Amino acid sequence: MGKRGSLVFLLLLQILCFLLFPQPLQSQGNSFSRPPAAKLILTQNERSDSDPEQVHISLAGKDHVRVSWITEDKHVKSEVEYGTEAGKYSAKATGEHTRYQYFFYRSGTIHHVKIGPLRPSTTYFYRCGGSGPEFSFKTPPAELPVEFVVVGDLGQTEWTRSTLEHAESKDYDVFLLPGDLSYADTQQPLWDSFGRLVEPSASRRPWMVTEGNHEIETIPILFPERFKAYNARWLMPYAESHSSSNLYYSFEVASTHVIMLGSYTDFDSASDQYKWLQSDLTRIDRLTTPWVIVLLHAPWYNTNEAHQGEGESMRKAMEELLYKARVDLVFAGHVHAYERFTRIYDNKADSCGPMYVTVGDGGNREGLALKFKDPGSPLSVFREASFGHGRLRIVNETHAHWAWHRNNDTNAVVADQVWISSMSSFKACWDDTSSAARYEL
Ligand SMILES: *[C@@H]1O[C@H](CO)[C@@H](O)[C@H](O)[C@H]1NC(C)=O
Ligand SMILES: *[C@@H]1O[C@H](CO)[C@@H](O)[C@H](O)[C@H]1NC(C)=O
Ligand SMILES: [Fe+2]
């Protein structure tokens, strides 16, 4: 890993591709002006080859957590020791490992080990592969309240660091990332660097991610396989949620059903993703999970000049399913700004539709999407092109608080906030026709 030679080769390859294929490889947006992006932070592995690096955890089905990490040494066992007391590991689990190749780049050994059953709201100490530092995490609560941090388009710049610091400055339960993680953009060592940058946060709270366009990483003709690095490194609980692809899945945490959709895989009504979403929605029990939230990358509603219309075909294909299921909230990334909409269905304000929020402002190297359309839209309630992060605190069955924190120099400032009532408590949206429609899905 981190081989200078392969990096240089890839750079040359990319230059060649840009010359051969004038369409940019990664950014699929319109042109818009952006301020200079902050400096990249490139982290090095300072541990030994058998020690874990890039440790991160994710929820993996009821009462289970998946621990993922990478070692240079390929003989390290995919084994996690854990327990509720520091230094004392009362349990042990074994898992699987993989490696991948991207031209001359060879990844380290990527380990994934599922541990559990675990108790809710409990701190566990763990060690990966029998060596290296001890890590710890806290499991989410079984009951409300629960708090999510929501931030997309993270990248690995000085802004990313400041966003993460602000997010970490107050406790939360689960980190949600609606796509565009490392901005490696085919330069594989940047995935490793990203993994190290986020480890302090991603090893102590579950990080649940879905893919963005920067995860695709294909090069026309030369490297057609999509999501190679993303799927190997960021394994999400798709099998645990009856999905056949790591690109879309769902999970439940404290009365909340969270659906992660894929903007860059098929979503038309004949697709696997569509059929999976249909059946996932019918499996939701609003009595046990009154809250339903959805994350995806390319926003369905967007008044920024950047990426106009890119989420439109997915919206046309899937919006009705989400509407009939009375989804509470839809979060997106992709546009490097913050925008909050009212409740919408089919381009009209609709009190039974989801509230839409774009939080593509984590701090990546491309900078901000500064230009909003003028005039805006009456559906758009608040919009601002600044880096920051969001926090969704689900207080009880009927109320949740959403706050967007703008990154200020040294602190985070709440710039937008709103109380949200759950759809499940809103009787008018569950009359005979709509609930009948829901079960017909
Ligand atoms: C839910 O939380 C809201 C906001 O704190 C509060 O006003 C409301 O009374 C709570 N409802 C119940 C049933 O506790
Ligand atoms: C933003 O940061 C500056 C510089 O650190 C500080 O002076 C200012 O008070 C901060 N603003 C808010 C609203 O916290
Ligand atoms: Fe994106």
Give per-residue pLDDT as tens, 67-107.
Answer: 999 999 999 999 999 999 999 999 999 999 999 999 999 99
- Residue with CA nearest ligand 2 atom 4: 409
State if residue 33 touches ligand 1 by the CB under 6 angstroms criterion. Answer: no
d(C-alpha 92, C-alpha 89), whole Å? 7
pLDDT of 8 reads: 55
Q: Do the beta carbons of residue 82 and residue 94 sit within 8 Å?
A: no
Predicted confidence (pLDDT) at residue 360 exceeds the cutoff of 50: yes
Report the separation in Å between the CA atom of 137 and the middle of ligand 1, taken as the mean of its atom positions. Answer: 29
Catalytic residue among 297, 307, 334, 389: 307
| Most ligand 1 atoms within 8 A of CB, residue of 146, 395, 426 to mutate | 395
The number of beta carbons lying within 10 Å of the beta carbon of residue 133 is 11
d(C-alpha 328, C-alpha 259), whole Å? 11
Written as one letter, the residue type at 141 is: P
244: left (phi over 0), alpha (psi -120 to 50) or beta: alpha
- Give the residue extent of every domain in the chain: 53-138, 146-440
| Domain 146-440, CATH among 3.40.640.10, 3.60.21.10, 3.40.50.720, 3.30.1490.480 | 3.60.21.10
Q: Is 307 annotated as catalytic? A: yes
CA dihedral 139, 131, 105, 180 (to 10 degrees): 20
Q: Which ligand is nearest to the CA of 412?
A: 2
Q: Do domains 53-138 and 146-440 have the same CATH topology?
A: no
Residues in contact with 130: Cβ distance below 8 Å, sequence separation at least 6, in sequence order: 76, 77, 79, 81
Average pLDDT, the chain: 92
Residues in contact with 360: Cβ distance below 8 Å, sequence separation at least 6, in sequence order: 152, 153, 178, 180, 299, 332, 333, 334, 335, 336, 337, 369
| pLDDT tens digits, one per residue of 119-173 | 999 999 999 999 999 999 999 999 999 999 999 999 999 999 999 999 999 999 9
Query: What kind of architecture, by CATH, is found in domain 53-138?
Result: Sandwich (2.60)
Where does the pLDDT of residue 246 fall: very low under 50, low under 70, confident under 90, or very high at 90 and above? very high
Structure tokens at 230: 């993303």
Residues in contact with 321: Cβ distance below 8 Å, sequence separation at least 6, in sequence order: 274, 277, 278, 281, 441
d(C-alpha 287, C-alpha 35), whole Å? 47
| pLDDT tens digits, one per residue of 382-436 | 999 999 999 999 999 999 999 999 998 778 899 999 999 999 999 999 976 544 4
Report the separation in Å between the CA atom of 144 and the middle of ligand 3, taken as the mean of its atom positions. Answer: 32
